[in-house]
A and B are shown apart, each in its own frame.
Chain A
Amino acid sequence: MSIRFNFGGDEHIFGEVSEEMSLTSFFTGLSMTNAVRAAGIRGVTEICPANASFQIRFNPDIVKPQDLLSELKSMEEAASKADPVLKTRIIELPVYFQDPWTRETCLRFRERHQDPSSTDLEYSARINGYATVEEFVAAYSGQPWFVSMVGFVAGLPFLYQMVERKKQIQAPKYLRPRTDTPKLTIGHGGCFAAIYSVRGAGGYQMYGITPAPIYDPTMKVRYLSDDMCLFKPGDIVKFKAIGRDDYDATLEEIKANRWEPTVRECTFSLKDFNGDIYGTNAKLMELINGR
């Protein structure tokens, strides 16, 4: 595999590991950006991993574009051979699926949807071969997800489910984007889930809502007091399906600033994962279930 490098104007180098999404490509991109960060290259101002690509921003008055490109290329072999083992963490996030707020929004923008006669959940369950919305939600929240990119807007994670490709849930974006999405909506577009960190426009299918803030510019939420964004690329996320009562109770705790998500340190090996997907996931999930 060879990274396709490209200059993005005079201040960016863009590296595409592969056109298609895969965890292997994500890991190569993450290894590259970690290597660039560790190298501490003068003139590099932003280091951004993405799903199957990455981007480095630099000041060409300090580092010559061609010199930086050569340096990146020299890191490529090591990155693609790097033993893809990541010291990371698993975060459990409560999600109220089939909630009334995303449902109301979904009904308000029906004419922009592929199937105006179904809800987003009904539509997505059907096109992914699930008999009921409940089975779909069980699949969605049953296996963990990788944060493969953070961005679009502040703190918004893109999540890629840790299952084999044929089990990946896929759904198209709305035909025309909505002008509104409730804050903290769990959405899905292509093969990615996303959590809308702020209220705003959006085109992803909407499935549920989490009571837990994931971005706090005021840094008052107790678990966001050091870092205003909860998620970093490489984090592992497990959705925990909750009902209305749990949602309301958690929200009360959050308002009192007493709540925080369950977070556990963990190590992830891509080799182990590819050898035994569900066994690896089960071990990860045990960490948060405290067994």
Chain B
Amino acid sequence: MAVKVISPGLSTSVQDLGRPGHYHVGIPEGGGMDRFATRIANLLVGNDPGAAVLEATFMGPELEFTQSAVIAVTGGELPPKLNGEERPTWESFPVKAGDRLSFGFLKGGARAYLAISGGIDVPVVLGSRSTYILGALGGHQGRTLKAGDELPLGEGSGKAGLSLPANLHRARNNPAELRMLPGLYWHRITEAAGNRFFEETWKVAPEADRIGYRFRGGTPLEFVEREQPFGAGSDPSNIVDACYPYGSVQVPSGTEPIVLHRDAVSGGGYMMLGVVISADMDLIAQLQPHTPARFVSVTLEGALAARAEQRAALARAEDYLAG
């Protein structure tokens, strides 16, 4: 045994880079919502980028180590404290048996990633250690952490004092700009409603979790009139239940858009306006409730260019850490 949970924080779970391949039976990919932060946390402590880390939401856990290790915290600005003394984020530091790790108040972003050298060694389920909370699958007993849990660690050999400078982190805008490729059922709304959707500033609603992020504050959508197809349901926002892409933007009853994230429900009966591009999924992971956000229309070419840009940024960070 290597890490004891003294207090769990608000919603802390074991995550890695996810388990693709089971979406057709409703099991989402899962994994760290902020992939960049998940990878970098691991690299800072000498792990494979896909090792299992802890994802802490809004508030950090309190942990006690029963063996020495090297750890690092990335993602949102959730300052770690070792035995009460503040330590930097995005930098590896050593811990020894008996040390306690706690966290100060969140200063920015929404989710912090704690990597421990050796990785969290919970059983691999369907190819991943990620926790799928809704399906009680993977992670530590298929759930978020509780006081009294003990998490095993793998064998590791991290170096303390490795850090990633701020100019290699991803900048966050305010309002957040989420680039989206319109499509899917975009034709269901009027042109005026479509224009307004991109012009208006929305706000992250309190209903924001690993499944999806809800937004509110914009004008309800106007639908193009039609006779509802057989099997779709009577609301103009209803469709015959279909698959939901990761990042898809559904608008139940045309009022509050929901962007599905890593633990997405895999399908359902609400029309989608399009999909937030892969390059901006990490940004959503770091949005707090009440944060202003805008959706920005992009083309497929724009989405691919943004993806290449994020890959290049990750490569720069990896090169820096590889020294």
From A53, A153, A160, contact of B26 by CB (8 A): A153
Given the contacts A48-B24, A153-B135, A154-B137, A12 and B275 also touching, CB distance less than 8 Å: yes
Report B281-314 CB contacts with A as 1/0, cut-off 8 Å. Answer: 0000000000000000000100110010001000
In chain B between 63 and 91, which residues have their CB closer than 8 angstroms to a CB of chain A? none
From B181, B184, B231, B265, contact of A190 by CB (8 A): B231
Q: Does A52 contact B (CB under 8 A)?
A: yes
Q: Does A6 contact B (CB under 8 A)?
A: yes
- Which one of B136, B267, B277, B307 has the greatest number of beta carbons of chain A within 10 Å? B267
Contact call B231/A198, Cβ cutoff below 8 A: no
Shortest Cβ gap from A193 to chain B (Å): 12
Report B48-68 CB contacts with A as 1/0, cut-off 8 Å. Answer: 000000000000000000000
Q: Which residue on chain B has the smallest CB distance to residue A173?
A: B233
Could you say which interface size class chain B belongs to?
A: 35 or more
Report B254-294 CB contacts with A as 1/0, cut-off 8 Å. Answer: 00000000000111110010111111000000000000000
Contact call B25/A151, Cβ cutoff below 8 A: yes
Among listed B96-104, B108-116, B238-246, interface-contacting one: B238-246
In chain A between 155 and 209, which residues have their CB closer than 8 angstroms to a CB of chain B? 155-156, 158, 160, 165, 168, 170, 172-173, 189-192, 197-198, 200
In the bound complex, how far is the Cα of B20 from the Cα of A192, in angstroms?
27
Q: Does B229 contact A (CB under 8 A)?
A: yes
Contact call B21/A20, Cβ cutoff below 8 A: no
Contact call A9/B275, Cβ cutoff below 8 A: yes
Q: Does A215 contact B (CB under 8 A)?
A: yes
Q: List 19 A-B contacts (CB under 8 A).
A: A9-B247, A9-B303, A11-B245, A14-B184, A51-B241, A54-B243, A55-B243, A149-B241, A150-B25, A150-B26, A151-B25, A155-B135, A170-B231, A173-B269, A189-B269, A190-B238, A200-B134, A217-B132, A217-B137
Q: 9 closest pairs, A vs B, by CB?
A: A21-B231, A9-B275, A8-B245, A55-B243, A20-B229, A151-B266, A154-B135, A151-B26, A217-B137
Interface residues of B (CB under 8 A from A): 20-21, 23-27, 125, 132, 134-138, 142, 180-181, 183-184, 229-234, 238-243, 245-248, 265-269, 272, 274-279, 300, 303-304, 307, 311
Interface residues of A (CB under 8 A from B): 6-12, 14, 16, 18-22, 33, 45-55, 57, 60-61, 65, 149-156, 158, 160, 165, 168, 170, 172-173, 189-192, 197-198, 200, 215, 217, 228-229, 231-233
